[in-house]
Amino acid sequence: MKLFEPLKLGAITLQNRILMAPLTRCRAAENHIPSDLMATHYAQRASAGLIIAEATMAIEGNSAFWKEPGIYSDEQVAGWKKVTDAVHEKGGLIFLQIWHGGRACHPLLNDGAQPVAPSEIAITSSEVRTQEGMKPYVIPRELTLNELPSIVDGFKKAAENAKLAGFDGVEVHAANGYLLDEFLRDGSNKRTDEYGGSIENRARLMLEVLQAVYDVWGSNRVGVRISPLNSFNSMIDSDPIALSTWLAKRLNDFNLAYLHVIRADFYQQQTGDVLTSIRENYQGVLIGNMGYDAKEAEEAIATGKLDAVSFGVSFITNPDFPERIKVGASLNQPNPETFYSFDEKGYTDYPFVEDGNLNQHKK
């Protein structure tokens, strides 16, 4: 199967093309420090060709999920070092997804601080999970021009800390309605300065972040994730195909490890084929995400549409997902009620397949 062929991805070689997508799971300890439970969780899934760890706060004070991890303090670096050591001991590879929540942050999660965004437009399609329950999003404050360099510097420091924590590389999160994506798409970016208007201007902050992270890691250990169609977090763009095509061409200049694309819309409100235009214009490794099963992933790789596929729920519920594909085993059924809970249930207690039998495996 093509899924089990090695893949050269920048400076590293993957043992297979079955990647674990970044998945917010809210299992960090106090002060957003990665927990020992997280180390167990990721080590269980080390047979993925590459683990892309969950969205992680690059800059303090920008929490959007209550118990998500950060990478801005020494304690967080030490916590992540336990995770990377555990994954490497199992023979795995792991990148860290560095992230700024933008307007998806909430004052209750950030000592009362108002969230920031390219423009003063709130998320209205959903609510945010806080320590006081689900709450409506608030109107963000528009970032000033003189604040943007500190955003770039924050991502650079996060990249440096990720290196100290032992990661194999980093993924810049520019998808799903968080800060960099909010700048990219014209539904959330109404600026009239050099960071708004044209696609080139709207992409400016993301490209500055990529350059800063590149300066730390070298381009061949840096990936980026985009979601031109996804309406999650009240996102929309007037021409996602044009945006995708422009980004595909421009990102060639960075010689990235990979480009990671969420191909569709969670809510199926926006449709279109962004992958074709990206594949035609992007010269590097292309990873697809959203809604793939093993059969479709195999076909996409075999026909050259993609180089690898990342899986989300399949890795939540099946720590040995590649092995299950290889032996044709059935998949565990997900329990969405535990996706964002705070203990081992639905996190480290899903069974493995061993010798054709299901066994509880909690190493």
Asked if 182 contacts 118 with a C-beta cutoff of 8 angstroms, the reply is yes
d(C-alpha 347, C-alpha 240), whole Å: 35
List the structure tokens of 360. 């509880």
Q: Is 178 an active-site residue?
A: yes
Burial track 181-215 (b if 16+ CB lie within 10 A, e otherwise): bbbbbbebbebeeebbeebebbbbbbbbbbbbbbe
**Of 178, 214, 282, 350, which is the active-site residue?**
178
Say how many CA atoms lie within 13 Å of 257 toward its Cβ: 28
d(C-alpha 76, C-alpha 33), whole Å: 5
Helix (H) or strand (E) holding 214: helix 204-217
Give bridge partners of residue 310 from the DSSP assignment.
19, 289
**Helix/strand/coil percentages in the chain, nearest 5:** 35, 20, 45
Active-site amino acid positions:
178
